[in-house]
A and B are shown apart, each in its own frame.
Chain A
Amino acid sequence: MSRARWLAEELGPPLAGVAGLLAIWAVVAAVTDSAGIPSPSIVWSAFLDGMRDGTLPDAATKTLIRLAFSFFVAVGSGTALGLALALNWFARRAIRPIVVALQITPFVAWVPLAVIWFGATERAVVFVAIVGSFPSMTLATLQAIRQVPPLYERAGRTLGARGWSLYRKIIVPAALPGMMAGLQQAWGFAWKALMAGELIVAAAHAGLGHLLDPRSGASVPTLFAALAVIVVIGVAVDYLLFGQLDRRIRRRRGLLIET
Chain B
Amino acid sequence: MANAIRTLADRPSAPAEPKLALRDLVVTRRTAWGETVTATDRLTFDVAAGEFVCLLGPSGCGKTSLLNVLAGLVEPTSGQALLDGRPITGPGPDRAVLFQEPALFPWLSVRGNVELGLDLIGVPLSERRAVAQRWLANVHLEGWADAQPHELSAGMRQRVALARALAADPDVVLADEPFGALDAQARELLQREVQRVWVESQNRKTFLFVTHNVREATLLADRVLVMSAAPGRLLEEFRIHAPRPRDMDDVLIARVVSEIHALLMQEVDASVAREMAR
Interface residues of A (CB under 8 A from B): 151-152, 154-161, 165, 169-170, 173-174, 176, 249, 252-255
Contacts and interface: CB of A to CB of B under 8 A. Distances in A.
A161 B107 contact: no
B117 A159 contact: yes
A170 B113 CA distance: 11
Contacts of A176: 107
A157 B89 CA distance: 13
B107 A159 contact: no
Most interface-central of A170, A176, A249, A253 (chain B CB within 10 A): A253
Contact of A253 (B93, B99, B106, B164): B106
B119 interface: yes
Contacts of B91: 154, 157-158, 160
A169 B120 contact: yes
A155 B116 CA distance: 11
Contacts of A249: 107
A161 B92 CA distance: 8
B97 to A, nearest CB: 4
Contacts of B150: 253-254
- Binding site of B, secondary structure by majority: helix, strand, loop or mixed? loop
Contact of B101 (A151, A157, A161, A255): A151
Contacts of A161: 120
A160 B120 contact: yes
Most interface-central of B71, B93, B107 (chain A CB within 10 A): B107
A32 B151 CA distance: 58
A160 B121 CA distance: 6
Going nearest first, the 10 A-B pairs with the smallest beta carbon separation are A254-B150, A160-B93, A155-B103, A160-B120, A253-B106, A158-B97, A157-B91, A159-B117, A158-B91, A173-B107
B120 A165 contact: yes
A3 to B, nearest CB: 24
B107 A253 contact: yes
A254 B148 contact: yes
Interface of B: 71-73, 90-93, 95-97, 99, 101, 103, 105-108, 116-117, 119-121, 148-151, 164, 168
B148 A152 contact: no
Most interface-central of A154, A155, A159 (chain B CB within 10 A): A159
B116 A169 contact: yes
A160 B149 CA distance: 21
Given A158-B73, A159-B168, A254-B148, 9 more contacts: A151-B99, A151-B101, A155-B97, A157-B90, A158-B97, A160-B91, A176-B107, A254-B149, A254-B151
Contacts, number: 69
A173 B106 CA distance: 9
Contact of A169 (B92, B119, B164): B119
12 contacts: A158-B72, A158-B95, A159-B120, A159-B168, A160-B91, A169-B120, A252-B107, A253-B106, A253-B148, A253-B150, A254-B150, A254-B151
Given A151-B103, A154-B103, A160 B95 contact: no
Nearest to A161: B120
Most interface-central of B73, B99, B106, B164 (chain A CB within 10 A): B106
Contacts of A253: 106-107, 148, 150
Nearest to B106: A253
B105 A173 contact: yes
A154 B103 CA distance: 9
A249 B107 CA distance: 8
A161 B108 CA distance: 16
A145 to B, nearest CB: 14
Contacts of B148: 252-254
B120 A174 contact: no
Contacts of A160: 91-93, 117, 120-121, 168
A173 B105 CA distance: 9
Given A160-B93, A160-B117, A254 B106 contact: yes
Contacts of A151: 99, 101, 103
A111 B107 CA distance: 41
B152 to A, nearest CB: 10
Nearest to B150: A254
A152 B120 contact: no
Contacts of B168: 159-160
